[in-house]
Amino acid sequence: MTYRTVTPRSLAAAGVLALSLAAFATLCVARHIPMADTLVYRAEGAAVVGGTDLYGFTVTRWQLPATYPPFAAILFVPTTWLPVDALKVVFVIGNVALLALFVRLSWRFAGLPAGPVPLLVAVAAGLWLEPVFQTVLFGQINLALACLVLWDLSRPEHALGKGFALGVAAGIKLTPAVFIVYLLMTGRVRAGLTALASLTATVLLGVLVLPQASDEFWTRRVFETSRVGKAWIIDNQSLQGLLARVLHTPEPGAVWTAAAAVTAAGGLWMARTAVVRAGSERWGVLVTALTALLVSPISWSHHWVWCVPLLAVLIAERRFRTAAAVGVVWTARSFWAVPHEGELDLRLAWWQQPVASPYALCALGLLAFAGWRTGTGTGMARAGTGPALPTPRAESVRARVQG
């Protein structure tokens, strides 16, 4: 039996994490955080239990409705078992634990050594990345979904049930379904079909338990993107939000449709090329995630928790200056500094636009970088970091895609 020795460095790292958590808890108490999304989830669970209209209610002073598929509402039933205050505490603690898991998964995904000191420091710092911070503050489920997807995609190619967790994540919230397309495009047909089957199972379960709500969601609500929120407000860091603010119109219409189509096609092509030509599933997954967030009609700032594995990969590839710049972008909260009350989001001057849409612009820049790297055939990882896929796995993926 071996025992790990507690070193001064590990104690210092634990102290940094404790200080970060204490500062966050103090801020939460001082701001009386409403955790509005947690209250929506609880209301969805209550609608399932009470047999009331799942898509007919609004809660909180922001009048928020249910926007997820019926399957998600079924999973939210346990949120009705606790008083509201206790539920908020559970969500805060749960999201901090999920952040620690997400950091650990990101570290493994990037191929970084998983010592306790860097992991503790990474969790302490990651808590203050704006998407993570807002996820905890709102009581959101972004970290849970990202953990499901990243864990599943990081598993060996022939792992039992690979794709199942991805399909479940897509059944809770549709955006992760783009990774199913990624798996199929890169030749992982079995995993892709497994994910598609589990997604279908979530839909069928929703139909079985909530037939009326399922009919309403899949025939009407799924197409009502305005139900999620106004696309042009500053919180929306998707391509549609960027274009709406740049064009000073709440409905960018055909311009956004064309831009989203080009971005989706180009992004998925680059993800495929990253795997086929460079053997880098790291960048294949990251490019797919960035593409999904860009083309989604609404990508609230807290949806961009994929900045965590992005930073891990950049650090693993020793791109420290790029990692520092990306870290600043996702920590600075610059879009909150521009006028955004009422419809001021649509009246921003040209020089305010980069400040108002940092995530979308950074993501577009990273897609261009990925395209350049794969287009030049230089690979995605620098020497000394090791291949992103073990060689037999990379060759297997290439053979399936090219064959």
What is the DSSP track for 180-221? HHHHHHTT-HHHHHHHHHHHHHHHHHHHHH-HHHHHHHHHTG
Give the distance between the most distant pair of CA atoms in the chain.
66
Q: What is the token pair recorded at 252?
A: 């960018």
Nearest to residue 80, comparing CAs of 50, 55, 53, 58?
50
Give the pLDDT band of residue 1 (cuts 50, 70, 90). very low
For the beta carbon of residue 328, count every other beta carbon within 10 angstroms: 12
CA dihedral sign of residues 380, 322, 308, 351? negative
Radius of gyration of the chain (CA): 21
Tens-digit pLDDT profile for residues 343-375 = 788 888 889 999 999 999 999 999 998 888 766
Q: What's residue 375's pLDDT?
A: 64
Give the pLDDT band of residue 387 (cuts 50, 70, 90). very low
Give the pLDDT band of residue 389 (cuts 50, 70, 90). very low
Q: What's residue 5's pLDDT?
A: 65
Tens-digit pLDDT profile for residues 97-156 = 999 999 999 999 999 987 888 899 999 999 999 999 999 999 999 999 999 999 999 999
Q: What CA dihedral angle connects 29, 34, 39 and 40, to 10 degrees?
A: -140
Nearest to residue 329, comparing CAs of 294, 361, 282, 371?
361
Tens-digit pLDDT profile for residues 289-342 = 999 999 999 999 999 999 999 999 999 999 999 999 999 999 999 998 888 777
Q: At what angle do helices 84-110 and 36-50 cross, to 10 degrees?
A: 110
**Is residue 360 within 8 Å of residue 241, measured between CB atoms?**
yes
Collect all residues with Cβ–Cβ distance below 8 Å to 68 and sequence separation of at least 6: 44, 172, 173
Residue 300: helix, strand or coil by DSSP? strand
